[in-house]
Amino acid sequence: MADKYDCVIIGGGIAGLQAAIQLGRYKRSVLVIDSNDGRSNLCKNYQNILGWPEGISGQTLREAGRQQAKSYGIQFAEERVIQCQKEIEGFSVITNSANYEAATLLFATGVVDRVPPELQQELYPCMGKTVYVCPDCDGYEVNNRRVLVLGSGKAGASLSLTLTYWTNDITYINHDKKEIGPLEDTLMQKGITYKEAAIKKVIAEAEMLKGVILENNEFIYGERGFLAFGGNKVRTELAHELGVELLENQHIIVNPRTKETNVSNVWAAGDIVAHSEQVTVAMGEGLQAAIWIHKRLLELHEK
C-alpha cells in the first residue's frame, strides 16, 4: 500500500523547502520529491537576499533548508515524478520506483535555463559568480564592467539593451545566428557591439569568466557574462496533466492570495508561477502556499 501524506511537494528548491519547513511547523506529514537538477543547484552566489551581503550559494541554501525541514520530520525522496493522478480522495504521485498518496499537492518544479550543451562545462562553474541569467537579480554585478551577452536572436538582443542601464561596454554574441531584425540597428545606436557567430569555446578560470573564442578563432574578452538563449523550460507538464491552467508562456496561474491553482487542493509556488523569478519571491510563495495548505487540511479533517 502506498505511503499517505498530508502534502507531497514536488520540487526541493527554494520554494519547496520553505513550504516544507512551514508545514513541518504545523506538524504535517510531508514528502518532498526532488530530482536534484534545478536552478538553485547551479547558482554559486545569490547576492540580493536580505541578510547575506556577501551572497550565499544555492547549494548552501538548499542544504541548510533540507536539514531545517528534516528537524521537523519532513521526509525526502531523490526521485523524478513521472505522473500525478487525481483519486477519489487526494492524489497519487508516481515515480519510477514508488507510488505515494497525498491529500494535497504543491508543485515547485521550477524553470531550467537553456544553455547549449557544448558550452555548459565551462559556464556552469561560473554561474552566480561571473555569469548570470537574470538582470533584476544581477544587473548590478556588471556595473561599469565589460560584459558579454551570450545568447540567441531577439532574446539576447533584448537583454543586451536592458544591461545598458548598468554598463556601456557590452558585446552581444548571437550564438545561434537567429534573426534579430530592426534590433540590430537599435543595438548599434546604443553602442553595443554585435557579433553573429557561434561560440567555439568559453574561456574561464576558477569561476572567473575571461572571454570566448568564436568559430573564426577570434577572441572576445569579457569580465562578466549574461546568458539569454531563450527557450527556457518551464516544468509545468505534470501540473498541466492534472488540469492546472497555464499561461501561453507555460507558467502557472494561481490565486494571488493563497497560491492555489484552479484545481482544488493543488498549489504552485516558485519560478513556475507567473511572477518575477527571484529567490525571495519563491520563499514567500512557498510559505504562503503552506499556510493555505494547512488551512485546507484542517477543513478536510473536519469532513
Residues 160-207: tens digit of each pLDDT: 999 999 999 999 999 999 999 999 999 999 999 999 999 999 999 999
Cβ–Cβ < 8 Å for 144, 170: no
The β-bridge relationship of strands 170-174 and 111-112 is unpaired
Residues with Cβ within 8 Å of residue 302, at least 6 apart in sequence: none
Q: What is the pLDDT of residues 61-98, one digit of tens each?
A: 999 999 999 999 999 999 999 999 999 999 999 999 99
All structural domains of the chain, each given as residue ranges with its CATH number in brackets, are 3-110+231-300 (3.50.50.60), 115-226 (3.50.50.60)
Residue 238 pLDDT > 60, yes or no? yes
- CA pair distance 163, 156, nearest whole angstrom: 11
| 3-10/99-107 β-pairing | parallel
Rounded distance between C-alpha atoms, residue 15 and residue 45, angstroms: 17
Q: Which residue, 296, 293, 294, is CA-closest to 26?
A: 294
| d(C-alpha 181, C-alpha 91), whole Å | 48
CA 62 – CA 76 distance, rounded (Å): 13
